[in-house]
Amino acid sequence: MREAGRTMGDVAGVDEAGRGPLAGPVVAAAVILGPVPVAAMVRDSKQLSAARRESLAQAIRSQARAWALGRAEVEEIDRLNILQATLLAMQRAVTALALAPTRVLVDGNRCPKLAIPSEAIVGGDRRVACISAASILAKVARDAEMIALETHYPGYGFARHKGYPTRAHREALARLGPTAAHRRSFAPVRAAAEVVSSVP
């Protein structure tokens, strides 16, 4: 993470990856961009190829004035609910920044609890460069974790679907049952767990 001298324009963009999946953590990123070319190249992470996301993530990490990741684990998601866990991950990302922002812009319609002025922007990952940058870092980081889970839990296809409720994931869940990485509070996982526990 990089830090530079503070300016009046130290605005942090915040976004998350992983609200919808049935497994894995939710990961948030906070980014304070500098006046560098990468700011003009970032886009909503969902509109980019994996290779392009990875390339931009490297540029963002090297050129941003500051960046940080925050996360909420599966246990926290199940205990708090996914919305509150997402806000917690965002709060952790902002708090972890080496450079304190003067303002925080958050993708979506809710802001985490912060001691810094913040604003929620619906569609911000498509409209605001620093939020787009956060979107890219969060997705790249979370995707890497889900790919790594493939070796721990073979047969579920985590490297392909990253924990999202694809047909292949649901079929594997029904066939193999939930892992420790699955969110038990999510209905498809809960249903699969009940089926497995009912088998003699």
The answer to whether position 198 is within a domain reads no
- How far apart are the C-alpha atoms of 102 and 118, rounded to whole Å? 9
The answer to whether residue 136 sits within a structural domain is: yes
Question: Where are the extended beta strands (E) located within the chain?
Answer: 11-17, 26-32, 66-72, 103-107, 118-121
- In this prediction the pTM is 0.90
Interval 113-156: pLDDT, tens: 999 999 999 999 988 999 999 999 999 999 999 999 999 999 99
CATH at residue 22 = 3.30.420.10
Range of the domain at 179: 152-191
Looking at residue 4, its pLDDT comes to 40
pLDDT in tens, 15-51: 999 999 999 999 999 999 987 656 556 665 677 888 9
Domains: count for the chain: 2
